[in-house]
Amino acid sequence: MKNKMLSTVMAVFLALLMLISCNSKTHTGEFDIVILNGRVMDPETNFDAISNVGIKDGKIAIITEKEINGKEVINAKGLVVAPGFIEEHNHWSRPLGYKLLLRDGVTTSMDIEAGVFGPRIDEWYKMHEGNSQVNYGTASSHEFARSMVTQGVKALDTPDGIVKSRGAGTAWANDIMDIDKGNQMLEAIDEGLRQGAIGVASTVGYLPGCTAREMYEVQKVGAKYGRFTSVHLRYTPGNPTTEANGAQEILANAVALDAPAVICHFNNPGWQLVQELILETRKRGFNVWGEIYPYAAGMTTINAQFARPEVWVDQLGNKLEETMQDPLTLEFYTLEKYNKVLKEAPATQIILYKMPPDDIINWVKLDGIVFAGDGMPVPHGWNEPPLWDTPYKEIPNTHPRAAGTRGTCFRIGRENNIPLMHLIAASSYNPAKYLGDMGLKAMQMRGRMQEGKIADITIFDPETITENSTYAKGTIPTTGIPYVLVNGVTVVKDSKVLKDVNPGQPIRFDVEEKGRFEKLALDNWEKEFLTAPTGFGGLDCCLEPDHAHKH
């Protein structure tokens, strides 16, 4: 009996030893990377504690107070360990642009405002495959589809070639399309969605020829897939009434179509009402959101319709000599210089000073906001990998938001006692949440510091994180962010972007076999909306029928 009891005790003892050994093994020597003693912050759960993080196979395997070991160790004492920052609105989708974003803490970069010409979405993703340091995504472009239809700009230099699109004439912006051209444009947008684009990108504020009907039909294409239409509003930048009217158009369409919508950079006159409209629409169950960048000036091409002197000066009351600047020379425009540059190089980039700087603090405080840089590329030829090693100060100048958006927001937050969790949410969780709720699986796994989520992680010093880019030199990177991990791989180490480390993954929907767009026809509208057809189609002005003005 004693021997049997002894054997049982020994068996239990051995089992306990094995269990302890297994548990010890779970926390020792198994992780690819461990981040030790950092302040781990997760906006979704409000978790905020000094913890250790273990990363395995590209995911956050454990967040614990216990001691853990790994092949690579990051000492995060005194630093914040946050979800990787998500840039949903960046036009500089090339290695140099991504390098600046990484120094600003960004792990995922998307272009949801200009986007890519729909039929070339797949080509754009293949261009990035295995060559991107950050995760990458894009939307199907309204503007580029319009350029294709109105002026035959099919073979853009790159799938996202704004310069060629806007430099090819004026039809891309000014033409009112008939129903045949409208169908061609909508088919091109739909093709991009079929190829996996994350939504529809619309720069309707650049398109005075775009009617209310056209904008509605563009949003309807996205709605068929349950995806957003992201919009530079019709009158942006305008006045407090027109800015709000532009938002009301997009939000009304979104509600009617039960479709997501994004109001791009509404940090313009009327922003208070636009914020209220967004929040009230979202309270009623609609997935709509807005973004800001923390600067009093924007950047655009000189042929933007809102930059025309008859609008910018006569209607809005600005002075060219004080508000329109050349980013390369820093000289302000005169009317003579404006007319000359517009004629010779209509896609030239300009900086427009449009808002009082005192408003910026309140933009950063907005509830549910997304921080978005709207970074613009530097001149052609400065975007390819051979120039990756160019010193930051030698890169041609651009708007400081390309390098310093998050650094600026966190510095403003520190100086004005804005909660750190709010700043992290606006940089990471908020865009991930809105996009994830739309069904984008890649975003459901990001923007969170939680076990099982993808290890896109930004580690920063809350006391020193700050922007260094200025209007005089917009390519100087943010400091105070010593480490950035993308898909569990260290890409920024000791505040240096590592070369030839490209762990970025596509942010994309699955490719579908066939598109969902159905061609518009006048008689279809009558059948759906009239109890007794009259012979007059309701698709007026999009999509303008030849007989529209005969009634």
What is the phi-psi region of residue 350: left when phi exceeds 0, alpha when psi lies from -120 to 50, beta otherwise?
Answer: beta
Beta strands 199-202 and 135-141 are parallel
Q: Enumerate the β-bridge partners of residue 486.
A: 489
Looking at residue 170, its pLDDT comes to 85
pTM here?
0.91
The full DSSP string for 376-408 is ---STTSSSGGGTTS-GGGSPP--THHHHHHHH
Looking at residue 1, its pLDDT comes to 47
Long-range Cβ pairs for the range 274-283 (8 Å, 24+): 274/243, 274/244, 274/247, 275/366, 275/367, 275/369, 277/244, 277/247, 277/248, 277/251, 278/247, 278/251, 278/368, 279/367, 279/368, 281/251, 281/254, 281/255, 282/368
Listed by start position, the domains of the chain span: 2-78, 84-296+357-446, 306-354, 521-551
- The residues, any chain, with a CB within 8 Å of residue 474's CB and separated by 6 or more, are 327, 397, 398, 399, 400, 401, 402, 403, 404
Torsion of CA 15, 17, 22, 25, to 10 degrees: -170
**Bond into 356 cis (ω within 30):** no
DSSP state at residue 118: G
Looking at residue 266, its pLDDT comes to 97
Cβ atoms 446, 456 nearer than 8 A? yes
- The residues, any chain, with a CB within 8 Å of residue 310's CB and separated by 6 or more, are none
Tens of pLDDT, residue by residue, the chain (551 residues): 445 454 544 444 444 444 443 343 344 458 999 999 999 999 999 999 999 999 999 999 999 999 999 999 999 999 999 999 999 999 999 899 999 999 999 999 999 999 999 999 999 999 999 999 999 999 999 999 998 888 876 545 454 555 455 656 788 899 999 999 999 999 999 999 999 999 999 999 999 999 999 999 999 999 999 999 999 999 999 999 999 999 999 999 999 999 999 999 999 999 999 999 999 999 999 999 999 999 999 999 999 999 999 999 999 999 999 999 999 999 999 999 999 999 998 888 999 999 999 999 999 999 999 999 999 887 655 555 557 888 999 999 999 999 999 999 999 999 999 999 999 999 999 999 999 999 999 999 999 999 999 999 999 999 999 999 999 999 999 999 999 999 999 999 999 999 999 999 999 999 999 999 999 998 888 788 888 766 555 566 556 544 443 33
> In terms of CATH architecture, what is 2-78?
Roll (2.30)
Looking at residue 164, its pLDDT comes to 54
Tokens of 322: 């004080």
**CA gyration radius for the chain?**
26
Query: Alpha helix (H) ranges present in 136-295?
Result: 142-151, 162-166, 171-174, 179-194, 212-223, 240-257, 271-283
Q: How many CB atoms lie within 10 A of CB 513?
A: 5
* CA gap 92, 318 in Å, rounded: 28
Residues in the chain: 551
Q: CATH homologous superfamily for 84-296+357-446?
A: Metal-dependent hydrolases (3.20.20.140)
